[in-house]
Amino acid sequence: MKINFPRHIIYSIIFAISLIIFAVWFSTAKLIPMGKEYRKNKIELKKQRADLKRYEDYHDETLKMYNETRSKNRHIIEAFDTKFDIEQFKKDNKKYFINLAVTKSDKFKKEDWYEIYDVNTTSKIKSPVNFYDFLDALNKSKWIIGITFPINFTKDGELIHSNFKMKVYKKKSSDINSTTDK
């Protein structure tokens, strides 16, 4: 008895067997190792996402603190940007003294953060109360000013002469970052 199969069935059987062999080889040689690598990469991705989330939270928290601090201290930031004007300073503080003389001091080395001025004043008072009022007014001025010690008071009859040095702080000249982003 002779079994006679048509050619297209023999080709189909050979194709099916080769397809099964290829599928088994592909899954064992390629997919299973790639699956292990995929699981490792998936775990690594979860770690990186957790790190990214932590860094984003830290960034948001820091940015919020920065913006709050910047809004609270806006007048200080603006004071650093305000150029010191001797004539405006004299005009604002002339009411505390009979005579107010302000000159830029050249004796000290040049600093980037502040400029030093010599201030000589004359007041007609029996006590230095006007001077303390002047110091209170400096705290409310549009500049950041520090009075350095010693402050010398000399009495001449009813007049009190005072002499002191004053540091006017400003934005560092080499600073290229603007702190007044608007």
User: Which residue is associated with the tokens 């000290």?
Assistant: 108
Domain count, the chain: 2
Omega cis (within 30) before 6: no
CA–CA distance, 83 with 6 (Å, rounded to integer):
101
Q: Among 1-5, 33-37, 134-138, which is the least confidently predicted range?
A: 1-5
Q: Do both 53 and 90 map to the same domain?
A: no
Angle at 157 between CA 154 and CA 161, to 5 degrees: 30
> What is the SS3 assignment for 174?
coil
CA–CA distance, 121 with 84 (Å, rounded to integer):
19
Residue where a domain stops, chosen among 29, 44, 72: 72
Q: Do both 55 and 93 map to the same domain?
A: no
In a domain, 53, yes or no: yes
Percent of the chain with pLDDT over 90: 23
In a domain, 177, yes or no: no
CA–CA distance, 113 with 102 (Å, rounded to integer):
19
Q: Do both 49 and 116 map to the same domain?
A: no
**b/e burial code for range 67-97 (CB count within 10 A of at least 16 → b):** eeeeeeeeeebebbebebeeeebeebbeebb
Query: Best-predicted range by mean pLDDT among 40-49, 74-83, 104-113, 170-179?
Result: 40-49
Percent of the chain with pLDDT over 70: 74
Q: Where do the H-state alpha helices sit in the chain? A: 7-26, 32-72, 74-81, 86-93, 129-139
Let me know if 134 is exposed, middle or buried by CB neighbors in 10 A (0-12, 13-18, 19+): buried
Range of the domain at 10: 1-72
Residue where a domain stops, chosen among 32, 50, 72: 72
CA–CA distance, 135 with 168 (Å, rounded to integer):
14
| CATH for 164 | 3.30.2000.30
Rounded to an integer, the average pLDDT of 51-63 is 96
CA–CA distance, 86 with 103 (Å, rounded to integer):
8
The model's pTM is: 0.47
In a domain, 68, yes or no: yes
Q: Do both 23 and 63 map to the same domain?
A: yes
